[in-house]
Amino acid sequence: MDRSDIAKLAELARIEIADSTVDEVAKSITDVLTLVDQLQAADTDGIAPMAHPLDATQRLRADVVTESNRREDFQALAPAAEQGLYLVPKVID
């Protein structure tokens, strides 16, 4: 993990990392990756990946409206909202 790897990751995760801490972050992430690299020693040939602890399957919901308009409740929490819209700096495609 070098400075440019951290910069790429930080961009991907949209997290600002102060320039002065980049080396420290790089080191701690390298340490964690060294820990998890122990996985490479495991023999996992033919083992199916396991995403859930239980072998359950998904329940499906009936197509019925259960939610009412609670815009005022939710937008009371918004850092910036106007005319019912959440406001963000200009979105450019």
Partner 1 sequence: MEWETVIGLEVHVQLATTTKIFSGASTAFGAEPNTQACAIDLAMPGTLPVPNEQAFRYAVMFGLAIDAEIGKRSVFERKNYFYPDLPKGYQTTQLESPIVGPGHVEIQLADGSTKSIRIHHAHLEEDAGKSLHEDFHGMSGIDLNRAGTPLIEIVSEPDMRSAEEAVAFARKLHSIVTSLGICDGEMSQGSMRFDVNISVRPKGTEEFGTRTETKNLNSFKFMEDCIALEVERQIDLIEDGGSVIQETRLYNGDTKVARSMRSKEEANDYRYFPCPDLLPVEIDDEFIEAVRQTLPELPDARQQRFVEQYKLSEYDAGILAADSATAHYFESTTEKCGDAKLAANWVMGEVSAHLNAEEKDITSSPVNTDMLAGLIARIKDNTISNKIAKQVFEDMWQGEGDADAIIEAKGLKQMSDTGELEKIVDEVIAANQAMLEDWLASEPDKRKKKMGGFMGPIMKATKGQANPGLVNQILAKKLNSML
Partner 2 sequence: MHNLTIAELIQGLRNKDFSSVELTRHYLDRIARLDSRYNSYITVTEDIAMAQAKEADERLALGDAPALCGVPIAHKDIFCTNGVRTSCGSKMLDNFIPPYDATVVENYRKAGAVMLGKVNMDEFAMGSSNESSFYGPVKNPWNTNCVPGGSSGGSAAAVAAHLAPASTATDTGGSIRQPASLCGLTGLKPTYGRVSRWGMIAFASSLDQGGPLTRTAEDAAIMLNTMASFDAKDSTCVDQPLEDYTAGLNNSLQGLRIGVPKEYFGEGLEAQTGERVQAAIKEFEKLGAEIKEISLPHTDLSVPAYYVIAPAECSANLSRFDGVRYGYRCEDPKDLNDLYKRSRGEGFGEEVKRRILVGSYALSAGYYDAYYRKAQQVRRLIKQDFVDAFNEVDVIMGPTATSPAFEFGAKSSDPVAMYLEDIYTIATNLAGLPGVSIPCGLVDNKPVGLQLIGNFFAEGKLLNAAHQFQQVTDHHKQTAPDID
Q: According to the binding rule CB under 8 A, does residue 44 interact with partner 1?
A: no
> Could you tell me the smallest distance in angstroms from the CB atom of residue 29 to partner 1?
16
What is the distance, to the nearest Å, from the Cα of residue 74 to the centroid of all Cα atoms in its chain?
22
Q: According to the binding rule CB under 8 A, does residue 36 interact with partner 1?
A: no
Choosing among partner 1, partner 2, none, which partner's interface includes residue 79 (Cβ < 5 to 8 Å by kind)? Answer: partner 2
Whether the CA torsion 32, 38, 42, 46 is positive or negative: it is positive
Per-residue binding letters, 27-66, with partner 2 (x by CB under 8 A): -xx-xxxxxxxxxx-x-x--xxxxxxxx-x-xx-x-----
SS3 92: coil
Take residue 44 and report the two structure tokens written for it.
Answer: 């996992």
DSSP conformation class of 49 = P
Query: What is the phi/psi pair of residue 35, to 5°?
Result: -60, -50
The residue (of 20 and 58) whose beta carbon lies closer to partner 1 is 58
Site for partner 1 in 74-93 (CB under 8 A): 74-75, 80, 82-91, 93
